[in-house]
A and B are shown apart, each in its own frame.
Chain A
Amino acid sequence: MDNQNNRLLYTEKLTRDFGKLRAVDRLSFSLEPGEIRGLIGPNGSGKTTFINLLTGIYKPTSGEVYFHGKRIDRLSPEEITHQGIMRTFQIARVFGDMTVLENMLIPAFTQGTSKREAVRRAKELLDFSLLGRLSSEPARNLSGGQGMLLQIVRGFMRQPLGLYLLDEPFAGVHPAIKDVMIETIQKMNREEGVTFLIVSHELTIVRRLCSRISVLHGGRLISEGTMKEVANDPQVIDSYLGG
């Protein structure tokens, strides 16, 4: 069992019901600082609901969420962000009427960063992620993949960023942009110590990026370990093949 002090984030019997449907079922889960964790599971297994519970979009029916030892499940989404947790959405949700650069400035502004400093970091991140030449474009003009990439790099504007939750970041994205995303995630993990929880169906990328994988099925955590370990777990095989 993990030492409580070593855990960046943990949940205790986290549950969320939608009417008679139990989307997340007494889920106890934990993340250690600095890791890149993959979260996989069949469709409808509760992955996105879990992310929504961690970020305050949904309130749990029961159970608790702790970040840096502080209970956060009663906080609003913006209060959770101010604790150092950011997230992305399954579809690229950028501020379409604002330029790429303006999109980047918002998370920095909300934590009181000066415009000068925010613009400097935004340009650095945009250049690294090859979005620099598009910084004056309205974000609605970006392709789906570029929008997803902007969504990811926008989150890095928050400093320090303790935990980044990426919900299906690679779905439908051009391979070249996927490579940029992977590089960016690895760089931020290595250089700034950002912890990631990545929900993805792209097992090849999950294998490449994540040291440990957690598997959800029916709102429950059914397996955890390296990719090799979970791939050989009969419960996991059964959940993917047997439903």
Chain B
Amino acid sequence: MKNISDSRLSGLSRYGLLLALLLVVCLLPFWTGQYYLQVFTIAFYYVVLASSWNLIAGYTGQFSLAHHAFAAIGGYASALLVTRSGFPISVGILASLISSTLMGLILGVLCLRMRAIYLAIATWAFAESVRITLSMTYQITRGDLGLAVPKLFLGAGRALACYYLFLGLAVLTVLTIILINHSKMGYYLRAIRDDEIVARVMGINTTRWKIFSFIISSGIAGIAGAFYGHYNGLLTPVMVDFNEMAFIVIMVVIGGIRTIPGPVIGAILIEVLTETFREFGEIRMVVFALAVIAIARLYNEGAMGVVRQLAQRISIKGRHGKV
């Protein structure tokens, strides 16, 4: 049995790890070149997606496969509003939030009473519909040719500004998830994941809270997608390829599902590895998929489990040392 001091240590080590990581990434631009600055900028985009997906899949137990689609909805909503109507990017970002939360609400109401595999299938079908629609509506989205999007920050310091912008987005997302996790809503979501029938008997309106968490998660993904579009300068339906969703799942599982730092570590690790081993092509996905199978089968706590166990061992050694 885990004792109280171990639990406290685990909590401290979790947030200590996040703070240490934050310090490192804040100082990283002073050590690294332009290339890795961009790699980390994209990694922070995935931190936002992975952390917000962890809220619904990890904490609430709703295995949605449409998270990347909400990023695309937000991305295209902002891009189209800015390019077609001439609105400023800030209005585009607001539109991305509204459109993705609205679609999240609709999909949530339709699908969140479904269980496990049916929810996964329904959300995957929704994401595929979004991808096909984006490809087919060529006159609006320019289909597979891609939609040119006005870029954020122009000039020499653009890469650095975007780096800190996406870092800020990632930090805000993680703080939001921490706040939710420590609020009454966090208790309800964890109860729903553990046993939905008992959660209802305890007085929790499970459908309402599942939809609410789905909306929050979709909204975060939508904003991330909008910023990604304005960073990249081009949006294509590739954003809704199933590979994108698979990446998010891989990042969360490898980092540690149902933990706050897990998706952060997973997203940065996988994105950096993906870029470092780019020359190996699609074989990288096979290696990641095998890693996910191994973790799911043998060690479902992911990288955060390793950190927790290490922290406990150090703590035990420290206590023995004192005696």
Interface residues of A (CB under 8 A from B): 55, 57, 76-78, 81-82, 86-87, 89, 93-99, 102, 105-107, 109-111, 115, 136-138, 141, 154, 158
Contact = CB atoms under 8 A, between A and B. Distances in A.
16 contacts: A57-B197, A57-B201, A77-B197, A78-B203, A78-B205, A82-B203, A95-B198, A96-B194, A97-B194, A106-B187, A106-B203, A109-B184, A109-B187, A110-B203, A111-B203, A141-B2
Contacts, number: 72
Interface of B: 1-2, 4, 7, 184, 187-188, 190-191, 193-195, 197-206, 258
B204 A110 contact: yes
B204 A106 contact: yes
Nearest to A80: B201
Contacts of A102: 187, 190
Nearest to B184: A109
B18 to A, nearest CB: 20
A109 B1 contact: no
A155 to B, nearest CB: 9
Contacts of B188: 106, 109-110
A196 B4 CA distance: 35
Majority DSSP secondary structure for residues of A touching B: mixed
Given A105-B187, A109-B188, A93 B198 contact: yes
A84 to B, nearest CB: 10
Contacts of B193: 97
A96 B198 CA distance: 12
Contacts of A158: 203
Contacts of A109: 184, 187-188
Contact of B203 (A81, A98, A105, A138): A81
A94 B191 CA distance: 9
B202 A107 contact: yes
A57 B27 CA distance: 55
B1 A137 contact: yes
B202 A98 contact: no
